[in-house]
Structures are given as C-alpha cells and as structure tokens.
Amino acid sequence: MNAYTHLEARFKRMNLVRDAIAMLEWDAAAMMPDGGSDARADQLAALKLVVHEQATSPALAEFLDAAGEGQGLDAWQRSNLREMKRSFVHATALPADLVEAQSRAVSTCEMRWRTARKENDFKGLLPDLQRVLDLAREEAQIKAQKFGCSLYDALLDAYEPGGKSAAIDAIFADLATFLPGFIDAALERQARKPAAIPFDGPFPAATQTKLAAELMAAVGFDFAHGRLDTSHHPFCGGVPDDVRLTTRWDEADFAKGLMGVMHETGHAMYERGLPLKWRHQPVGFARGMSVHESQSLLVEMQAARSDAFLAYLAPKAAAAFGKSGPAWTVENFARVYRRVQRGLIRVDADEATYPAHVILRYRLERAMIEGRLALRDLPGAWNDGMRELVGTVPPDDRDGCLQDIHWPGGAWGYFPTYTLGAMTAAQLFDAAKRADPNIVPSIGKGDFAPLMAWLRKNVHEQGSHLDTDALLVKATGKTLDAEIFKAHLKARYLDA
Amino acid sequence: MNAYTHLEARFKRMNLVRDAIAMLEWDAAAMMPDGGSDARADQLAALKLVVHEQATSPALAEFLDAAGEGQGLDAWQRSNLREMKRSFVHATALPADLVEAQSRAVSTCEMRWRTARKENDFKGLLPDLQRVLDLAREEAQIKAQKFGCSLYDALLDAYEPGGKSAAIDAIFADLATFLPGFIDAALERQARKPAAIPFDGPFPAATQTKLAAELMAAVGFDFAHGRLDTSHHPFCGGVPDDVRLTTRWDEADFAKGLMGVMHETGHAMYERGLPLKWRHQPVGFARGMSVHESQSLLVEMQAARSDAFLAYLAPKAAAAFGKSGPAWTVENFARVYRRVQRGLIRVDADEATYPAHVILRYRLERAMIEGRLALRDLPGAWNDGMRELVGTVPPDDRDGCLQDIHWPGGAWGYFPTYTLGAMTAAQLFDAAKRADPNIVPSIGKGDFAPLMAWLRKNVHEQGSHLDTDALLVKATGKTLDAEIFKAHLKARYLDA
C-alpha cells in the first residue's frame, strides 16, 4: 500500500462511522421515543469522538504529505486527495478547546433560543448568542489566517467549498436591485388575476403519504434504497444507498407538505446519484450546500411548479383526495403554488421573495462576523433590512431576527447557499431543457427520467471532482449568471 | 484519574459504540429497505472494528493490571473490575486470524444453511458446517486452556458467564428422566378434555398492535423509552433507555404473536430495569443468557399463561377483535395457550416439550465439540434423540437437525440457556409469589406492578454484580432447583 491507498482506506473507515452517525440522527428525528434522547446524545458524542480522532490523526498528516507525487494518480484520485486535504485542514484548524467551547455554547444557546423565540425575548438570548458569535469570530480569525482568506469566507468555506463573498456580493447586489421592483410588479399582476382558492380539506395523512410516494417514484426515487417517514422538521438524511426522507403532514392543507416532499426528493436524487465508485471517499460526496440546494429547488421550484407538472398533478391530486370543483383546476394549482407575498418568515417565503430574506441575512451575518454590526443592534438592522428588501417590517423579534435557528446553532456563513442554490437550479434547468427538449413534455406525463438522466450525468455523478464553478461551467457553459434566474422569475411571475 | 477510573471511562466509550451498533442492527431488521443492506454491513463492520480495537487495546491491559489494590473500590466497583477483566479475556483470547476466519466461515455457512434447509440437504451443508465446527473447537481449545476449564464450558462461558456443564448435566439428567413420563401423562389428560377451539380470524394487524401495546403497558413497558415494530424474526433490541421490540403479525392467528410480544416485553423489562447508576459499565449489564431468558419466560410462560392472566386476557381480546362464542372463553384460552404436543420444531414447542428439544441439542453439541460425535453422524443421532426425548422422529433433516440457525451461525454452547432460563423463571416466580401474595391477583387485573417491583429489586437492579448462582440464591434462597420447575409443570398440566 502506498500513501494514497492508505488514505483511501482511512477515509473509508472514517466516513462509514459518519454514515452510522447519519443513520442515528435520522432515527432520533423520525423514530426515537423522547426518553431515548440522552442515551442517543451519548452515542452520537462517542461516535463523533471516534471520527474526530480519525480525522485529525497524525498518521493522516504523514500520509497526506507523502501522497501525490510519483504515485501515478489519475484525475479523480488527485481530486480525491485535494478533498482529503480540505477535510484535514478543516478538522485540524481549530484547537480542541475552541471546538469543545463551541459545542457547549451552541447547545446552551439553541435551548435558550427555543424559549426566547416563543417569548419574543431578544435581550434574554443576547448573552448566549453573543458567546456563540464570539466563538464563531474566533473560528473565522483562525481559519482566515490559515486559509489566507477573509473572515466571512473562512466560515463560508465549510458549507460552500471555495465560495467567495466577493462573487456573492456582485450577484446579490444585482438581485437586491432587481427584486423590490420585481416583487411590486408581480404583486400588481397577481392582484389583477383571480385569487387562489384554498383547497377544501381535511386531507388524511395516509392519502397524502400515498400520493407523495407516487410522486417520489415519478421523480425516480427508489424505495428499495430509501424511505419516507415523518419528523418535526422535514429533511433528507441517511446515506446514498439508504436515503431517509422525512416530511410533516398537515391534514388541513396538503399543498405545502407535498412540495416539501418534492424538495427533499431532489436532495435524495442527488445523494443516490453520487458516483458509486467513489462511495465513502471525499471526492464522491456532494459538492457543497449550494449545489445540494440546487437539486432540491430544481425539482421543487423549477420542475414541480412548472405548467407541465401542475397539469399532471392537479387531476392526480383531485383523484387521490376524491375532490373536484374550481379549487382543483390546473389554473388554481398554479395560483396556489406561485403565490407571491411580502411575508415575515423565510421558511414560508415564496420563490420570488425568498432571495430578499437571504440577502438580508447574508449582509447582517457578514457585518457581525466582521465586527461592523454589534449583536445588540441586530433587531433594528433586521427591521431596516426587511423594509428595504422585502417591503414589510416585523411587529416583533419573534417573527423578525429570532426566527431562524442558524445563528444560535452556530451556522454562520450558511445562508447565502439557499439563494445560490435557487439560482443554480434555474441555470441547470435552463441548460437541461435546451440539451433535451423532451424533458418538459416528460415531466408533464409524470416522468422525470429525461431530466434525471441529464442531472445524473452533469451533476450527480460528478461528486466533488470539480469545484462548484467548474461544475457549473461544464454543465451549462458559464459560471453562475443572475440573468437566468431573473429571466425565470420574470417569465413565471410577470409574463405568463 | 486512577487506573480504575480510566477503565470506567474507556468501557463507557466502548459500550456507547456497542449501543450504536445495537440501534443500527434494530434498524436493519425493522426499518431498512433491502437495498441498504450492503451499506449497513459496511457501517457495522467499521463500528465493530472500533469496538475491537478499544476492547483489546494494550492500554486497557495495563490499567486492568494496575486497578484494584489500594484504590478503595467498593463492592460494585470490584464486581465491575471483575466483569471488565472477563470482557478483556474474552476479547483477547483468540488470535485475530481465527476471529476473522470464524466471521467468514459463519457468514458463508449461514447463507448456505438457508438453502440447505429449504432443500433438505444436510450433505450439501456438511463442508461449510464442518468448517464452522472445526473453528469452534479451535476456539474451545484455546479458551479452555486460558480459562482452565472444559472445552464445552469454554464456549458456554460466552453466553452464560461462569456456567458449568457439570451442573447442567445433573439438572438435565433429572429432567430427561422426568419428561417422557410427564409428557405421556399430560397428553393423556389433555385427550380426555375438550379440544382447543381455533380462534376465528382474520385479525387485522392494526388491532393486534393496539392490543399488544395495551398488554405491554400492563406489564410496565414505558413507550417513552421504547417502541414496538415488526421484523421477520421477533427480538428485543436497542438499549436500556430506548428498547426496541419487534414482532410479526399473523392475521390468521393472533395467539402466537401476542405471547411473542409478552416474551419480548419480559426481556425489555429486564433491560429497562438494569441499574441506571452503572449504565455503560460491564457490571450494569444483564447477567447472562439464562437470566435474560428467565425474564422473558417469566412474563410469557409463568405470568401470562397463568389462570389469573388468561381470565384478564380472554374478555379483553374478545372485545378488541369484536368476537364472542365458545372459542373466546377463559377455558378455551387456557386450552390454546397450554396445548402439549410432540412436535418436531423447537421454536414452535410448548412449555412442556421445549426442554426435551434443548436437552437433545445440548447433548449433541457437547459431543461434537468434545469430538465424540462426528458431524456426518449428526442426522442419525438427532433422530435417535428425538425418539427418546420427545417421542417423535422427523421425516427429514429439514425438520430435524437442519432446523436451527445456531450451529451454522457459530453459536455453540448457547442452547442450554433456554431451559436454564425456563427453570430460573419458575423458581423466581415461585419466590416472588411467596414474597408478595398480591402478585397473582394483580396480574389477574392486568397489573404487573407488584411482580415487576419484586423482579426489579431482586433481578434487574442487580445487573452483573453477582454471578448467576449467587443472584438466584439471594433472590430465592437456593441455587437452581429442578423440583420447582417440575412442580410447576405438574401443577399446570396434570393437576389443574
């Protein structure tokens, strides 16, 4: 065995333990009785300690130094080595006591946040959130120095490998200019058309489950390699060969849950389509959060809210629930699924206003990490930003700066990936449709196979071989281009 | 930290990884889609390698040598140290290549066995089973030398710590003398009484699940710390704070599945009742397979098939399924649940003939391990033993010596614990009833709390502090006494 093959063996071993963690985290959300939570926390901590020891082992450093030159590595092996080094650099960048302090601070702050949000108590959360922010800034300083990048980019890199705020700035500035006028125009046009008619429930969870499973199968989800269950927060968990999706059923309204399942199925198809040959190796993993989100939003926003798919869905849903009438027409499905609203809550936002929520968060978290915004000034800055970007101001912090778990949870630098993902989705779908004119007609028949064939070849099977920019260039001919996303929004919300 | 506290920390860490393995094994049986099996096998192998490295670490040997003297250990800590040493001795007794060879041979043989059983092909299984037997004999020789015991006891010790075949011989000889005449008499008496009337199904799985959950709650199962699901082979899995039971529903017959749930609930109550203070430490574990089986059989055989409980169960089951008529009387429940039969299959055997099946397997496996019986002569020896002990001879090996997975699966030395467990159950229930006269009347009202209070104090909370004999002496005043089990059988099957 040479240094490189040693590395492959060690990463496989470590990533199998990570896979075990992923399965246990799914179980904790979907299956575990409440009384099992302490035991599960102990199990996960023990496994994470194993991974940490493996990820930071001095032997790994030696093999990483020795591997590469003169070992006749092919292009994928070289990419794998690059990703191994990235993994090692991230794993070893921080002193153990900082990691430990972060873990404790986040755990305390998340718990405090649940109460603080309920009680609209930003001041009560402030000390714990300040601690989490201080530690994130400490992390950013250490990593920025080691990686030779800006403070914000040092944090962003954990979610968006190679991501640069300079590029995001340009894209988001363009969007921030475009959105307010666009939202005005979309709302104006919407007001001139008939209002969406609410669906007349109730919708039994069992029927929703059956319909959702049929739609998942239509997208290409293989139930021999995955499951659909319920959890408080929907997510796509498990491992590529055993994907565990979760959702939440609202018996009064099937519409949101159904699209939630389509969203998670997009994530699942990415995981399932990752290159089998590179299973358990870093180069075989999903490229990053923006590409991952692009796959869920491509299925949910681009494909499943298209005219073609809604024409397939509306009669199918009506039949499943045994319903008919004006709410169950294709036209009404389009009105329900494309309703634009100046809302306060990001997770409830529509496709058109969502980027405005994200841009706000990006600006604020970057200012806080760079020390330009004090945490105590966050509520005011939040409300100013909402006025400017979304055109509405929250009446309190509960529905304002307290709404997201990301900052209390220590996920600073994550937010931009949502909108980068939405834009990437538009660009990939645009390229896919041009490459195969059969994609949209097939979606109209509930057959996602042509779309998935294109995605599998151009995205899924690429794993982490290329960086995000190169992946997009290879698949679409150019780097991320805001014009395509804007054209999509205009076509759907202004022209149709 | 002194040597002993180091050991506690290391065993906790290792046993948390074992707990993770237990959860993933439950998932594989109860939740996992078929296509996940290869990925799961890899995950489990990776975690087992972690445990193996932790269990055999040279540092552990040093701490074990250093711990004990002069560290002011209390009685439970001394017991814990004793169990740590037992764990280490078992983990390090065998050379790595033997363990590896066993793992491969068992894996091949189990797969071959599934076909061989179906095709009644003992000769076809012979080479693979011979390999497993040869390796088991090699294990026995190495361990016998290290532990200073007989070949059979060296294997038995892994399932029944401290178990001795000399003691089992005496008990089983007594039973083997008693059983043939007893079975004759029980069958004779049964023939003079009305035949059991089969229940008139179908019995929807959902109704069976609901009824089973109610009975589990009656026994004391806490659904905040466990679940009931389905799997191909019912078992009690998970961890003490999150017990995962499984069963299998037969919609044509609820009777067997229901008692299966009671059986697994007995196992579950033992796990749940293990001393919280010693969670993750060897002294906090269940004492061994015979005590574990005693807890399942105490609930299933002693309590749930008692007159008192059947009088509670019959009307409850009739109401659950919306049934009435002669099959649904308490008398008929007793006939169904206490039917004696000279059957061929151990897992289908009733309480009266089960020990005969076990004694046969004990004699045969011991003879094979000691080299007194060649594997090729097993079918003949099996049939001779069945004639003598059960009073019936299988028409083929499928329902004869090919029926159990234990030997192909490498579990040599396991079988006697089933009957030791049945006898222990009788002895514990006898002592419990004498200690608290309220136990049986309460069971008659579907309230197992008084029984569980006694078991918790006398068995569950004892963990592995005492050895099996001492545990039984402390709880019942004497070591295992065949007379109590025989008296139970006579009272139930001859006198009632």
Q: pLDDT per residue over A41-76, tens digit each?
A: 999 999 999 999 999 999 999 999 999 878 899 999
**Res. B496: pLDDT tops 80:** no
Q: Which residue of A has its CA nearest to B223?
A: A33
List the single residue in B16, B43, B242 with the smallest CB-CB distance to A35.
Answer: B242
Q: Establish if A164 touches chain B: CB-CB under 8 angstroms.
A: no
Nearest CA among B306, B291, B300, B305 for reference residue B424: B291
Distance in angstroms (rounded) separating the CA atoms of residues A226 and A267: 12
Q: Establish if A311 touches chain B: CB-CB under 8 angstroms.
A: no
Taking the CA of residue A4 and the nearest CA in chain B, the distance in Å comes to 20
The SS3 assignment for A183 reads: helix
In the prediction, which pLDDT does A70 show?
80
Query: Residues of chain B with pLDDT > 70: what percent?
Result: 100
In the prediction, which pLDDT does B70 show?
80
The SS3 assignment for A238 reads: strand
Residues 235-254 of chain A whose Cβ lies under 8 A from any Cβ of chain B: 239-242
Provide CB contacts within 8 A for B58, sequence distance 6+: none
Q: Establish if A170 touches chain B: CB-CB under 8 angstroms.
A: no
Distance in angstroms (rounded) separating the CA atoms of residues B451 and B309: 13
Half-sphere exposure of A48 (CA within 13 A, CB side): 13
Q: Establish if A217 touches chain B: CB-CB under 8 angstroms.
A: no
Distance in angstroms (rounded) separating the CA atoms of residues A132 and A369: 11
Candidates B8, B23, B246: best to mutate against A (most CBs of A within 10 A) is: B23
Do the Cβ atoms of A241 and A23 come closer than 8 Å? no
- Contact yes or no for B50 and A17 at CB 8 A: yes
Catalytic residue among A160, A264, A271, A300: A264
Query: Which one-letter DSSP state was computed for residue A351?
Result: T
Q: Which residue of B has its CA nearest to A9?
A: B46
Taking the CA of residue A240 and the nearest CA in chain B, the distance in Å comes to 9
Tokens 């509520």 -> residue = A379
Which residues from B are below 8 Å from A245, CB to CB?
none
Q: Which residue of B has its CA nearest to A243?
A: B36
Q: Establish if A18 touches chain B: CB-CB under 8 angstroms.
A: no
Candidates B32, B50, B222: best to mutate against A (most CBs of A within 10 A) is: B50
**Res. B262: pLDDT tops 80:** yes
Candidates B14, B21, B31, B229: best to mutate against A (most CBs of A within 10 A) is: B31
- Contact yes or no for B34 and A224 at CB 8 A: yes
Number of H helices, E strands in chain A: 20, 3
The SS3 assignment for A483 reads: helix
Tokens standing for B454? 């006694």
Query: Residues of chain A with pLDDT > 70: what percent?
Result: 100
Q: Establish if A345 touches chain B: CB-CB under 8 angstroms.
A: no
A475-491 pLDDT, tens digit per residue, is 999 999 999 999 999 99
Taking the CA of residue A32 and the nearest CA in chain B, the distance in Å comes to 8
Average pLDDT, stretch B56-77? Answer: 93
Q: Establish if A23 touches chain B: CB-CB under 8 angstroms.
A: yes
Taking the CA of residue B244 and the nearest CA in chain A, the distance in Å comes to 9
Taking the CA of residue B50 and the nearest CA in chain A, the distance in Å comes to 8
CA torsion through residues A319, A323, A328, A333, sign? negative
- Contact yes or no for B20 and A46 at CB 8 A: yes
Q: Which residue of B has its CA nearest to A244?
A: B32
Q: Establish if A27 touches chain B: CB-CB under 8 angstroms.
A: yes
Which residues from B are below 8 Å from A42, CB to CB?
16, 19, 280
- Contact yes or no for A17 and B222 at CB 8 A: no
Taking the CA of residue A12 and the nearest CA in chain B, the distance in Å comes to 9
Taking the CA of residue A208 and the nearest CA in chain B, the distance in Å comes to 20
Q: Establish if B9 touches chain A: CB-CB under 8 angstroms.
A: no
Do the Cβ atoms of B127 and B153 come closer than 8 Å? no
| ipTM computed for the complex | 0.94
- Contact yes or no for B39 and A239 at CB 8 A: yes
In the prediction, which pLDDT does B336 show?
97
Residue A417 burial by CB count (10 A; 0-12/13-18/19+): exposed, middle or buried?
buried
**Res. B68: pLDDT tops 90:** no
In the prediction, which pLDDT does B495 show?
87
Average pLDDT, stretch B255-272? Answer: 97
A108-145 pLDDT, tens digit per residue, is 999 999 999 999 999 999 999 999 999 999 999 999 99
Q: Is the pTM of this model over 0.90?
A: yes
**Res. B257: pLDDT tops 90:** yes
In the prediction, which pLDDT does A40 show?
94
Distance in angstroms (rounded) separating the CA atoms of residues B462 and B297: 19
- Contact yes or no for B33 and A223 at CB 8 A: yes
Q: Establish if B59 touches chain A: CB-CB under 8 angstroms.
A: no
In the prediction, which pLDDT does A68 show?
83
Q: Establish if B1 touches chain A: CB-CB under 8 angstroms.
A: no
Query: Which one-letter DSSP state was computed for residue B284?
Result: G
Which residues from B are below 8 Å from A224, CB to CB?
33-35
Q: Within B67-95, where are the H helices?
A: 75-93
B425-461 pLDDT, tens digit per residue, is 999 999 999 999 999 999 999 999 999 999 999 999 9
Beta bridge partners of A246: A229
Tokens standing for A159? 């979610």
B303-333 pLDDT, tens digit per residue, is 999 999 999 999 999 999 999 999 999 999 9
Three-point CA angle B487, B489, B491, nearest 5°: 65
In the prediction, which pLDDT does A69 show?
79
Tokens 């600006």 -> residue = A363
Q: State the average pLDDT for chain B.
A: 96
Q: Digits of tens for pLDDT over chain A (496 positions)? A: 899 999 999 999 999 999 999 999 999 999 999 999 999 999 999 999 999 999 999 999 999 999 987 889 999 999 999 999 999 999 999 998 999 999 999 999 999 999 999 999 999 999 999 999 999 999 999 999 999 999 999 999 999 999 999 999 999 999 999 999 999 999 999 999 999 999 999 999 999 999 999 999 999 999 999 999 999 999 999 999 999 999 999 999 999 999 999 999 999 999 999 999 999 999 999 999 999 999 999 999 999 999 999 999 999 999 999 999 999 999 999 999 999 999 999 999 999 999 999 999 999 999 999 999 999 999 999 999 999 999 999 999 999 999 999 999 999 999 999 999 999 999 999 999 999 999 999 999 999 999 999 999 999 999 999 999 999 999 999 999 999 999 999 999 998 7
Do the Cβ atoms of B375 and B157 come closer than 8 Å? no
Q: Establish if B322 touches chain A: CB-CB under 8 angstroms.
A: no
Q: State the average pLDDT for chain A.
A: 96
In the prediction, which pLDDT does A337 show?
97
Which residues from B are below 8 Å from A33, CB to CB?
223-227, 242
In the prediction, which pLDDT does A195 show?
96
How distant, in Å, are the alpha carbons of A298, A399, B118, B341 from that of A347?
17, 11, 55, 64
- Contact yes or no for B39 and A19 at CB 8 A: yes
**Res. B188: pLDDT tops 90:** yes
Distance in angstroms (rounded) separating the CA atoms of residues A180 and A493: 14
Active site residue B264: yes
Tokens 């492959």 -> residue = A8
> Residue length, chain A?
496
Q: Establish if B435 touches chain A: CB-CB under 8 angstroms.
A: no
In the prediction, which pLDDT does B69 show?
79
